[in-house]
Chain A
Amino acid sequence: MKHLSIKPSILPVLCRFIPALFAISLAHAVPEKVTFNKDIRPILSDKCFACHGFDKNTREAELRLDTAEGAASVIKPGDPDKSELFQHITAHDPDEIMPPPETIKKLTDADRNLIRKWIEQGAEYESHWAYLKPVRHSSDKNAIDHFITKELKEQDLKASPPAKKWRLVRRLYQDLIGLPPTTQEMEEGLEMGHAQLVDHLLASPHYGEKMAIPWLDLVRYADSVGYHGDQLVTVSPYRDYVINSFNANKSFEEFTREQIAGDLLPNPTEEQLIASGYNRLNMTSEEGGAQAKEYLAKYAGDRVRTTSSVWLGATLGCAECHDHKFDPYLTKDFYTMAAFFADLEEKGVYSARTRPPQIFLYTDEEKARFAELDKAIPESKARIPKDAPKEHPERAVLKKLEDEKKKVHGAALSMVISKAVKPRTVRVLARGNWMDDSGEIVLPAIPEFLGKINLPEGKERLTRLDLANWITSPENPLTARTFTNRLWKQFYGSGISGNLDDLGSQGDWPMHPELLDWLALEFVESGWDIKQLVRTMVNSETYKQSSYPRSELREVDPYNQLFARQARFRLDAELVRDSALSISDLLVRDVGGKSVRPYQPAKYYQHLNFPRRNYQASKGNDQYRRGVYTHWQRTFLHPMMKSFDAPSREECAADRPSSNTPLQALVLLNDPTFLEAARVFSERILSEGGEDFQSRLTWAFQETVSRKPNENESSEMKILYEKQRARFEKDPVAAAEYLKNGDSPVSAKDPIESATWMSLSRVLFNLHEMIARY
């Protein structure tokens, strides 16, 4: 069996941590043919570019190693020993050795061996893969399996067998709509073909809710402004826009254009204006004493970081103060990108509770009433004589009408939108210093090395619409790769390129660059059809594999980069909540609407001020909505969401970590949401699960984890049943009290039996299997 060459960029990391584990693969690390992008660039980028790279201001000895020309003086192709570069990296003299000892960068022997071989083989440079146009390497209809098996064959490995059908049904439910299948849905799913089930789920309105979660992380969608008092701002129509767009399968091209420049489209619809709210989702401040100019600079920087990360997979934010150290982004590029957004009407510091420009979204009913009032008010005014006394009866009528108009207006949902005004002057800020007015004035432009958007005739400057059009144009190699790579993560556990934030030099070399290119091209050529791309991904044999670990893979492919098995991962925070609510049948499956407030510990908002906040948990149906509708307070995210790694959305987040902490255990054990779900579920067990212990337990297992309990599990649960039942029999008052967790009415006919099953349900809700996808 051959060993997989672990990508060099992670070697030093591994090396530092576990020398023993590392040694297994190291001896085989140098491949037959060394390629610059795969093997050499990661080393040079990580260890050398900071001083010998793109940033001319920090370049030492006028030497750059990021281009062949720059490195010509120190590399003699074919002859490593005569190459100054190689001499330096193998020197022992502290004055000679590179990287210098005072930096913490160190080359490993494996790095040096790779560089030696690369020079021996001619020291050929390549442009960074992500900046080249994608190339189609297969004409297969679904080439995923082609590329995956090809690589596996080279590594002398086999794909894993397909997962059991029930596992696949559950996986598809979790991946596509983010909810576990009910027993009945499972039965139906088992009857359907795989592709048929995929189509069935893609047509579900809950697909959009699932797809929206990572997008909302990226665009940092939240219900509060983030800075200082973290006051509320209404942008929930934007969230619904995202959900609806995924459900309607809006092309990604249109989705992009509407968000970046919806307001600049001809006669923009209300929907397009809502979409344009994207540009205004950044954190804003109304702190007294804040300087508008400083905050405008902060907002501009935030937008560049976010937009470049969302669509380009680029860390352009690094170029705010200096040229990018690892990628060809210049400081100027940062500010020319910022200039695209300089036309937005906005304030550096807002007055209390206002975020103009906004639109108001009236319901049809409200619109009708408005029309009536707009007619009635002038009529009423006309009925008041000029010198009528204060107590003239018509004045009271007028006041009532005007008050009603205010009330209707106040009740309507508002939405912060983009509106173009005369663009502000944008200067390059030296070292990012907003007080420095000496920098060059710049106009909107894309990063120079990625090309140029030609100025449309008769126009003085490029607009956000030009930017949006370029982002999804064939000239831009980054967008389709970035989106495809992130989507792949949703269905395969990690990206084809592991780093979802950064497709640049410091990103991860994709184990399957040809596959990423093929998917990106398919996506573009399908007219940016997202559902089609999802279908392609989840209908492959690679997707259907079992996720069961195999000992031979642990050694050669610990990160599962070869996808020789499916991934297994814990569900996102929202879906952990959704699963419990769905299983208990408490879940209210409405789509869209105002944000809602799940139960939350008292005084959690005590540190908020201007104004002080008193959290009121939602009542009735709103208490049982999906996690995606949870009120998102940036500075104090709901503790359940936070402990399950949901980001605060203060800043663009392309990826969520997946931690496993005692705080999560406490949430699942004691958060009233989960207690109530367990309690209501216990009622279902008693009414729907049959009469005896075993049939009830089996039913409960099927509803929660889609399988039957085995013998050991049954006897373990039986022990718990006996123990808990004995406790509640001794103390029926406690049993009744236990059943009062949560707002929903208690309907238990046999409180002791219900309380007992509530404890059993809690154990099921604390199974990793319930909140993980296998």
Chain B
Amino acid sequence: MDYQRFLLDQTRRHFLKRNTKGIGTLALASLLNQNSLGSEGASNALPIHIPAKCKRVIWLYMAGGPSHLESFDYKPKLAEMNGKPMPKSITEGQQIAQLQSQANQLKCFGPQHNFSRHGKSGQMISDVFPQIGEIADDICVVKSLNTEQINHDPAHTFMNTGSIIPGRPSMGSWLTYGLGSETENLPGFVVLTSAGGGQGQPIAARQWNNGFLPGRFQGVEFQSSGDPVHYISRPKGLSDAGQEDVIRASQRMNALGDEALDDPEIATKINQYEMAFRMQTSVPELVDFSDEPKHILDMYGTEGADGSFAANCLMARRMAERGVRFIQCYHRGWDHHGGLKKGMEQTAKFVDQGSAALVKDLKQRGMLEDTMVIWAGEFGRTPMAQGSGRDHHIKGFSGWLAGGGIKPGISYGETDDFGYHAVKDIVHVHDLHATILHQLGIDHKKLTYRFQGRDFRLTDVHGKLVKGII
């Protein structure tokens, strides 16, 4: 039996007679022809909102709030002010996190690491990121990021979902809802995690939740030990072939049952077993790095899929190649309230090489053009000292983007001399979201979903395109 054809017919037949509540405009195209975007470019059956420059996103998510003052925002003035009182005019009326009790004696804390110029662009980058320095001409550093939440948990939620109220879909869910998936063997939205170098602040699955969008748009977390995907392994005592018997019989028995029931959900279910079956092969193949040459492994600084940040970066590239739409690599370890000098050095060591290798590797494969890499966390850190560290800071912080039609080798936006307030070309979280969506071919105002009587958007009622970086 031509099983694929049978399944496809089932899907089409049932789709056309079913209600369509909650199916994304663009996802509809992908449901009927999963590869439309991948194989035929942007000539979808249904119009994509605007021409896409980018097909997928890899977000290197620096959880904990890396200090912009020891990474990408060079502040010589702050060095001069080291130890002196922070001007009240700057901090008055501003929200403070752990420094609440010391609000009247805030002191400037000079940058703890040297900066050097890199590449033709001459970008100033902290010496704790030598390898990222090497890709200075490929990245666009944004120094004027702004967020609204000063504690980790809500700040993550805001960065990922554009809202602080739990239950809203994360960006990856919005994207797979809007664009569908380019792969039939893997989920469209994948999350990888690593930790090291500093305090491991907790992170919630809410950050990759589908919220009110249908469950198939949820981010799937890949585990670095045990099953890479929950329940992906066949049960002990049963061979692959034995498991295939069970899966195939389940599909056929569902189809037989449907003769009496005539339930479109059953056809869908049979399809999902097909994908589940394929995942049982494609996932182990994905996480097996034995087909990577040594120079690539060395470039990332990893030996295999061991759950390190470096390995996750390589895994992200492998997923991007296979059509995963949105990949997030979290690294927890940036919450340097104390011991910042050493802490920055340590955490940077975990991520520097892998981040740079990913960009270089994508570039040498010609994939950087349609893959956007983002490097940013939920907020930055105060120019004021918290002992030997820095507190959370939301009014100006840095991150960088590369590829996917983003201008390379530039920096965008500025903070004041202290690195406190973003003062020029402010990029709010909503603006960042709007710009990412734009590069993927989506007008952020048009990607909506009706929930509780309202058309919700990733950017709520805000967000403007950051034209200066595209």
Contact with A along B148-181 (1 / 0, CB 8 A): 0011111000000000111100000000000000
Contact A662 B272 (CB under 8 A): yes
| CA gap between A643 and B187 in the complex, in Å | 13
Residue of B151, B226, B448 near A285 (CB, 8 A) is B151
| CA gap between A647 and B252 in the complex, in Å | 31
Among the stretches B262-270, B321-329, B346-354, the one at the interface with A is B262-270
Among the stretches B53-61, B107-115, B132-140, B195-203, the one at the interface with A is B195-203
Q: Which of A752-774 contact B (CB under 8 A)?
A: 755, 759, 762-764, 766-769, 772, 774
Contact B215 A738 (CB under 8 A): no
Residue of B166, B223, B448 near A283 (CB, 8 A) is B166
Residues of B within 8 A of A226 (CB): 166
Residues of A within 8 A of B17 (CB): 554
Tell me the nearest residue of chain A to B245, going by C-beta: A723
- Given the contacts A226-B166, A637-B205, A650-B206, A670 and B253 also touching, CB distance less than 8 Å: no
Tell me the nearest residue of chain A to B443, going by C-beta: A104
Residue of B23, B153, B242 near A759 (CB, 8 A) is B242
Residue of B19, B153, B212, B452 near A502 (CB, 8 A) is B452
Contact A737 B236 (CB under 8 A): yes
Q: Which of B26-64 contact A (CB under 8 A)?
A: 28
Residues of A within 8 A of B238 (CB): 734, 738, 759
Report the minimum CB–CB distance from A764 to chain B (whole Å): 8
Does B231 touch A at the CB level, under 8 Å? yes
Residue of B100, B152, B205, B279 near A635 (CB, 8 A) is B205
- Given the contacts A639-B230, A768-B254, A290 and B445 also touching, CB distance less than 8 Å: no
| CA gap between A759 and B256 in the complex, in Å | 18
Among the stretches A87-95, A415-423, A710-718, the one at the interface with B is A710-718
Does B332 touch A at the CB level, under 8 Å? yes
Does A256 touch B at the CB level, under 8 Å? no
Report the minimum CB–CB distance from A501 to chain B (whole Å): 4
| CA gap between A104 and B252 in the complex, in Å | 45
Contact B206 A558 (CB under 8 A): no
| CA gap between A561 and B206 in the complex, in Å | 33
Tell me the nearest residue of chain B to A713, going by C-beta: B256
Contact B237 A287 (CB under 8 A): no
Contact A666 B20 (CB under 8 A): no
Contact A289 B151 (CB under 8 A): yes
Residue of A17, A317, A739, A767 near B254 (CB, 8 A) is A767
- Given the contacts A736-B237, A740-B236, A648 and B206 also touching, CB distance less than 8 Å: yes
Residues of A within 8 A of B200 (CB): 609
Does A71 touch B at the CB level, under 8 Å? no
Report the minimum CB–CB distance from B280 to chain A (whole Å): 8
Contact with B along A1-38 (1 / 0, CB 8 A): 00000000010011011100100000000000000000
Report the minimum CB–CB distance from B66 to chain A (whole Å): 16
Tell me the nearest residue of chain A to B448, going by C-beta: A104
| CA gap between A602 and B93 in the complex, in Å | 46
Residues of A within 8 A of B293 (CB): none
Residues of A within 8 A of B268 (CB): 660
Contact A287 B253 (CB under 8 A): no
Tell me the nearest residue of chain A to B212, going by C-beta: A657
| CA gap between A53 and B23 in the complex, in Å | 29
Residue of A17, A289, A759 near B28 (CB, 8 A) is A17
Number of interface residues of B (CB under 8 A): 93
| CA gap between A712 and B165 in the complex, in Å | 51
Tell me the nearest residue of chain B to A766, going by C-beta: B250
- Given the contacts A288-B98, A603-B223, A664-B272, A651 and B166 also touching, CB distance less than 8 Å: yes
- Given the contacts A289-B98, A548-B262, A664-B272, A716 and B253 also touching, CB distance less than 8 Å: yes
Report the minimum CB–CB distance from A319 to chain B (whole Å): 12
Number of interface residues of A (CB under 8 A): 110
Contact B233 A670 (CB under 8 A): yes
Give the one of B200, B230, B279 with max A CB within 10 A.
Answer: B230
Contact A568 B263 (CB under 8 A): yes
Q: Which of B265-304 contact A (CB under 8 A)?
A: 265-266, 268-269, 272-273, 275-276, 279
Contact B257 A713 (CB under 8 A): yes
| CA gap between A78 and B201 in the complex, in Å | 65
Contact A648 B220 (CB under 8 A): no
Residue of B22, B232, B235, B239 near A727 (CB, 8 A) is B239
Contact A662 B205 (CB under 8 A): no
Residue of A554, A568, A636, A763 near B249 (CB, 8 A) is A763
Contact A666 B202 (CB under 8 A): no
Does B261 touch A at the CB level, under 8 Å? yes
Does A669 touch B at the CB level, under 8 Å? yes
Report the minimum CB–CB distance from A687 to chain B (whole Å): 21
Contact B276 A669 (CB under 8 A): yes
Does A386 touch B at the CB level, under 8 Å? no
| CA gap between A217 and B26 in the complex, in Å | 31
Does B77 touch A at the CB level, under 8 Å? no
Residues of B within 8 A of A650 (CB): 166-167, 206
| CA gap between A606 and B16 in the complex, in Å | 43
Residues of A within 8 A of B22 (CB): 657
- Given the contacts A650-B167, A662-B272, A601 and B226 also touching, CB distance less than 8 Å: yes
| CA gap between A664 and B23 in the complex, in Å | 19
Report the minimum CB–CB distance from A517 to chain B (whole Å): 21
| CA gap between A497 and B218 in the complex, in Å | 28
Report the minimum CB–CB distance from A152 to chain B (whole Å): 19
Tell me the nearest residue of chain A to B199, going by C-beta: A609
| CA gap between A16 and B204 in the complex, in Å | 35
Tell me the nearest residue of chain B to A739, going by C-beta: B237
Does A610 touch B at the CB level, under 8 Å? yes
Contact A768 B266 (CB under 8 A): yes
Does A134 touch B at the CB level, under 8 Å? no
| CA gap between A637 and B204 in the complex, in Å | 10
Residue of A606, A609, A661 near B216 (CB, 8 A) is A661
Does B97 touch A at the CB level, under 8 Å? yes
Q: Which of A622-656 contact B (CB under 8 A)?
A: 634-637, 639, 642-643, 645, 647-648, 650-651, 653
Tell me the nearest residue of chain A to B260, going by C-beta: A710
Does A741 touch B at the CB level, under 8 Å? yes
Contact B265 A772 (CB under 8 A): yes
| CA gap between A653 and B166 in the complex, in Å | 11
Tell me the nearest residue of chain A to B214, going by C-beta: A659
Contact A507 B215 (CB under 8 A): no
- Given the contacts A315-B454, A737-B236, A289 and B253 also touching, CB distance less than 8 Å: no
- Given the contacts A289-B392, A549-B262, A608 and B214 also touching, CB distance less than 8 Å: no
Does B398 touch A at the CB level, under 8 Å? no
- Given the contacts A716-B252, A767-B253, A499 and B241 also touching, CB distance less than 8 Å: no
- Given the contacts A326-B453, A648-B166, A763 and B263 also touching, CB distance less than 8 Å: no
Among the stretches A227-235, A457-465, A574-582, the one at the interface with B is A227-235
Contact A666 B231 (CB under 8 A): yes
Report the minimum CB–CB distance from A203 to chain B (whole Å): 31
Residues of A within 8 A of B239 (CB): 727, 731, 734
Contact B257 A768 (CB under 8 A): yes
Does A435 touch B at the CB level, under 8 Å? yes
Q: Which of B313-362 contact A (CB under 8 A)?
A: 332
Residues of B within 8 A of A719 (CB): 249
Report the minimum CB–CB distance from B366 to chain A (whole Å): 31
Residues of B within 8 A of A305 (CB): 165
Tell me the nearest residue of chain A to B274, going by C-beta: A662
Report the minimum CB–CB distance from B6 to chain A (whole Å): 15
Residues of B within 8 A of A289 (CB): 97-98, 100, 150-151, 391-392
| The 8 residue pairs across chains A and B that have the minimum distance between CB atoms | A506-B453, A738-B237, A659-B215, A737-B237, A635-B204, A650-B166, A289-B97, A289-B98
A selection of 27 A-B contacts at a CB cut-off of 8 Å is A10-B21, A21-B20, A226-B166, A228-B151, A289-B98, A325-B454, A435-B95, A502-B453, A568-B261, A568-B263, A602-B226, A609-B200, A651-B167, A657-B212, A660-B265, A663-B230, A665-B276, A669-B234, A670-B235, A675-B235, A716-B249, A720-B245, A727-B241, A740-B236, A755-B237, A766-B250, A766-B253
A734-B237, A768-B254 are known contacts; what are 8 more A-B pairs with Cβ within 8 Å? Answer: A228-B153, A289-B391, A603-B226, A659-B215, A661-B215, A669-B276, A670-B231, A759-B246
